[in-house]
């Protein structure tokens, strides 16, 4: 793999090597657009930090997230997608062709751009939490909940994501601690009430996590928590630690050139078109979690990646490629 080559004009550049970006790469490569796919800080996106994926169609016995994304990558490369490392430092989406600057004099011009830069789960940032990702620490209840059948787990957060995850996880876990750092919740009233009324969910408010226990055993075995009101420190035995403290979409870069919502997600139109001041940006499409706060699944990312690729192809045909 190399870094983006100097001053070339491409038909299609795809930002991101997660499920959406690589699916867009398969489709655009098969359409002979010779896509350049830019791999950033998180190669493979969120699939690369997931363990077993059991809900991706076509894998009756499940597939490891990293293996799945590696296969999609191979498939894209087989059809001629070029994957290069790069970190965008500037972009001009109004230029024709679109101008992308990767620093050190490396500029790429492209007739179409597919932004598939994903959203990164927000983590607490504790070393013990980071060490146990995939070993009992997860940011995706839908992906990993199944592994906690009959176990005691916790969900961190006080928003709708945390409530939704906690309620969902009661299908598997015998008990879910909902742990929130304050006593007031961002979650909608209905979601909060539903979670609070659930017999398997116990709320621990004004509580922060000091450490996830189990680093030596390479498996979550509990947490050390502190009550911020009483100052009391205690340990809870549990097997799963789920984060529900939000996601950070990787679209900040386009602020001022593209319509983003209050949380920084691309305000996509029909899931794939980007806009600026409400008007569609010609040749600039988006796909995957960077524009999806609702579903955030590998299969929906793949679906919108496909859609963006087909729209890019159509755009190039209509504009005399």
Report d(CA 75, CA 293) in Å as an integer.
27
Q: Which of residues 224-283 bind ligand NDP (CB under 6 A)?
A: 245-246
Please check whether residue 290 is in contact with residue 249, taking contact to mean a CB–CB distance below 8 angstroms: yes
Piece in contact with ligand NDP (CB under 6 A), picked from 70-78, 92-100, 151-159, 230-238: 151-159
Residue of 114, 142, 89 lying closest to 268 (CA atoms): 114
DSSP assignment string, 107-152: EEEEEEEEE---EEEP----HHHHHTBTTTEES-HHHHGGGGTT-E
Kindly tell me which residue out of 30, 151, 186, 198 binds ligand NDP, with binding defined by CB under 6 A. 186
Report d(CA 65, CA 18) in Å as an integer.
11
**207 is a site residue for ligand NDP (CB under 6 A):** no
Residue 194 is given by DSSP the state: H
Residue placing its CB nearer to ligand NDP in the complex, 131 or 208: 208
Q: Which two tokens stand for residue 307?
A: 């859609």
Piece in contact with ligand NDP (CB under 6 A), picked from 47-55, 156-164, 277-285, 310-318: 156-164
Site string for ligand NDP, 157-176 (x = CB under 6 A): xxxxxx-x------------
**182 is a site residue for ligand NDP (CB under 6 A):** yes
Report d(CA 193, CA 215) in Å as an integer.
35
Residue 234 is given by DSSP the state: E
Q: Which of residues 274-303 bind ligand NDP (CB under 6 A)?
A: 293
Cβ at position 252, least distance to ligand NDP in Å? 16
Site string for ligand NDP, 120-149 (x = CB under 6 A): --x-x-------------------------
Cβ at position 26, least distance to ligand NDP in Å? 30
Residue placing its CB nearer to ligand NDP in the complex, 192 or 298: 192
Cβ at position 162, least distance to ligand NDP in Å? 6
Residue 91 is given by DSSP the state: E
Q: How many residues bind ligand NDP (CB under 6 A)?
A: 16
Q: From the CB of residue 317, how many other CB atoms can be counted at a distance below 10 Å?
A: 10
Which of the residues are catalytic? 140, 143-144
Please check whether residue 83 is in contact with residue 39, taking contact to mean a CB–CB distance below 8 angstroms: yes
Q: Which two tokens stand for residue 208?
A: 């922060």
**Positions that interact with ligand NDP (CB under 6 A):** 122, 124, 156-162, 164, 181-182, 186, 245-246, 293
């Amino acid at each position: 793999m190399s870094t983006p080559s100097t001053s070339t004009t491409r038909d299609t550049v795809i930002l991101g090597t997660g499920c959406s970006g690589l699916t867009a790469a398969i489709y655009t490569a098969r359409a002979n657009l010779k896509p350049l796919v830019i791999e950033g800080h998180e190669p493979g996106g969120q699939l690369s930090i997931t363990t077993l994926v059991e809900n991706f169609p076509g894998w009756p016995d499940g597939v490891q997230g990293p293996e799945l994304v590696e296969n999609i990558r191979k498939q894209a490369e087989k059809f001629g997608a070029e994957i290069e490392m790069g970190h965008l430092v500037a972009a001009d989406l109004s230029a024709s062709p679109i101008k992308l600057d990767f620093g050190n004099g490396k500029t790429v011009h492209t007739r179409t751009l597919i932004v598939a830069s994903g959203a990164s789960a927000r983590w607490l940032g504790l070393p013990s939490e980071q060490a146990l990702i995939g070993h009992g620490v997860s940011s995706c209840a839908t992906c990993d909940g199944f592994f906690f059948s009959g176990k005691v787990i916790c969900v961190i957060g006080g928003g709708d994501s945390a409530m939704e995850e906690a309620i969902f996880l009661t299908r598997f876990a015998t008990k879910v601690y909902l742990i929130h750092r304050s006593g007031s919740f961002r979650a909608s009233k209905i979601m909060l009430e539903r979670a609070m009324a659930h017999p398997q969910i116990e709320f621990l408010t004004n509580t922060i996590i000091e450490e996830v226990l189990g680093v030596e055993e390479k498996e979550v075995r509990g947490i050390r928590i502190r009550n911020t009101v009483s100052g009391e420190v205690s340990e809870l035995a549990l097997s799963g630690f789920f984060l529900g403290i939000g996601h950070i979409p990787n679209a900040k870069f386009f602020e001022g050139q593209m319509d983003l919502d209050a949380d920084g997600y691309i305000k996509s139109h029909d899931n794939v078109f980007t806009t600026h001041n409400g008007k569609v940006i010609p040749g600039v499409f988006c796909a995957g979690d960077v524009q999806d706060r609702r579903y955030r699944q590998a299969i929906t990312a793949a679906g919108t990646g496909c859609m963006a690729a087909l729209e890019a192809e159509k755009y190039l045909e209509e504009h005399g490629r």
